[in-house]
Amino acid sequence: MKIFLAGLALFGAAAIAGVAQPHFARSAASPSADAKTISVTGNGTIETVPDRATFSFTVTTQADTAKAALAKNGTAADAVAAALQGAKLQTSEVMLQPQMNDDGTAVLGYTASTTVTAESELAKAGPLVDAAVDAGATGVSGPSWSRSDYNALYRQALQNAVADARAKAQALADSAGLTLGAVMSATEGGGVQPLPYASAAADGVAKLLPGTQTVAASVTVTFAALDR
């Protein structure tokens, strides 16, 4: 009985090995390591005008004690936030610092500050700046620009980058007497390249000139190169 079972085991192993053999034969059909390839980097851009602006507003207050400085500052920051209705708000920084005398031996009081970041549609950004200042903001920084449809624009730029990569690879293949084959691999990269902007005041309302932005994408593509 033991000899019979051993024979069955050997037969089963041989059957499994026989089933596995076609799999290894197929893997051998993969491109060889010395296959010809062409690797290029393509670039694509989309020019656009920003439609959103982000500003940072700072409120600074002073008081004799740290607790009083923070309380006073919180009230002032709430007033500025209330004036920024319709914007996406985020508290980006809260600071508290002692104010020392000239020789640094005594605390004269405390200064507290809160910075609120507000993002809004471009058309509303100018009035929001004025509203924040009127509500007590003591510092304004920005704007930084963005597009609400950035993802769609980036995909367009990425398509342009792939087309640019194919055109470059085709030129290389032609010059080398090769036929451009299928894409073997592709790696993306990219980002936004904002161009300079200008801002000014007109009729008491902050006037914003967003200029243009370049949504840029890059892709490195490797193509198979075939002999003609």
Q: CA gyration radius for the chain?
A: 32
pLDDT mean over 136-148: 94
For residue 22, pLDDT over 90 is answered with no
Say how many C-beta atoms besides its own lie within 10 A of residue 118's C-beta. Answer: 26
Which one-letter DSSP state was computed for residue 212? -
Give the span between the Cα atoms of 202 and 85, in whole angstroms: 22
Averaged confidence pLDDT in the chain: 83
pLDDT band at 211 (very low <50, low <70, confident <90, very high): confident
CB-CB contact of 187 with 222 (8 Å): no
Lowest mean pLDDT among 5-9, 47-51, 113-117: 5-9
For residue 39, pLDDT over 90 is answered with yes
| Rounded (10°) CA dihedral 106, 110, 111, 113 | 140
Question: Which two three-digit tokens encode residue 150?
Answer: 């950035």
pLDDT band at 46 (very low <50, low <70, confident <90, very high): very high
| pLDDT, tens digit (0-9, with 9 covering 90-100), for 143-172 | 999 999 999 999 999 999 999 999 999 999
For residue 29, pLDDT over 60 is answered with no
| pLDDT, tens digit (0-9, with 9 covering 90-100), for 77-97 | 999 999 998 899 999 999 999
Question: Which two three-digit tokens encode residue 186?
Answer: 């592709």
Tell me which H or E stretch contains 221: strand 213-227
Q: How much is the pTM? A: 0.65
Question: Which two three-digit tokens encode residue 137?
Answer: 């903001």
User: Given this model, what pLDDT does residue 208 score?
Assistant: 74
Cross-strand bridge partners of residue 51:
none
For residue 206, pLDDT over 70 is answered with no
